[in-house]
């Protein structure tokens, strides 16, 4: 399955900085849900240039994704969807 550009399953809280990102928090992003249900998250991530990557919740990550901000924007807080 081809993932959208804003999803990078290789991004983890541990390797975010070496990949040019800072781990910020967890967001609920259900890949099985219809796109319309996740549209607010998708719009925010795409508008701000963020990425969704691996969750820090190793015990039960679903439906969570990690929210990663580019290092150049790491002082900027995500706007609420």
Q: What tens digit of pLDDT does each residue of 29-57 get?
A: 988 889 899 999 999 999 999 999 999 98
Mean pLDDT, the chain, rounded, equals 87
- Asked whether residue 47 is assigned to any structural domain, the reply reads yes
- pTM above the 0.85 mark? no
* Mean pLDDT across 52-76: 84
**Residue at 12 is within a domain:** no
Question: pLDDT tier at 73 (50, 70, 90 boundaries)?
Answer: low
In angstroms, the CA 77 to CA 6 distance is: 17
- Please indicate, yes or no, if residue 31 is contained in any of the structural domains: yes
5 in a domain, yes or no? no
Residue at 58 is within a domain? yes
Residue 33 lies in a domain: yes
| Residue 44, domain member (yes or no) | yes
CB 10 within 8 A of CB 53: yes
CB of 29 within 8 A of CB of 63?
yes
What domain range includes position 57? 17-73
In a domain, 6, yes or no: no
Instruction: State how many domains the chain has.
Output: 1
């Amino acid at each position: 399955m081809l993932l959208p550009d804003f999803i990078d399953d290789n991004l983890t809280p541990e390797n975010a900085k070496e990949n040019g990102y800072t781990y910020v928090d967890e967001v609920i992003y259900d890949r099985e849900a219809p796109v319309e249900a996740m549209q607010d998250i998708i719009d925010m991530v795409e508008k701000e240039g963020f990425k969704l990557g691996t969750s820090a919740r190793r015990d039960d990550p679903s439906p969570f994704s990690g929210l990663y901000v580019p290092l150049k924007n790491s002082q900027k807080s995500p706007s609420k969807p």
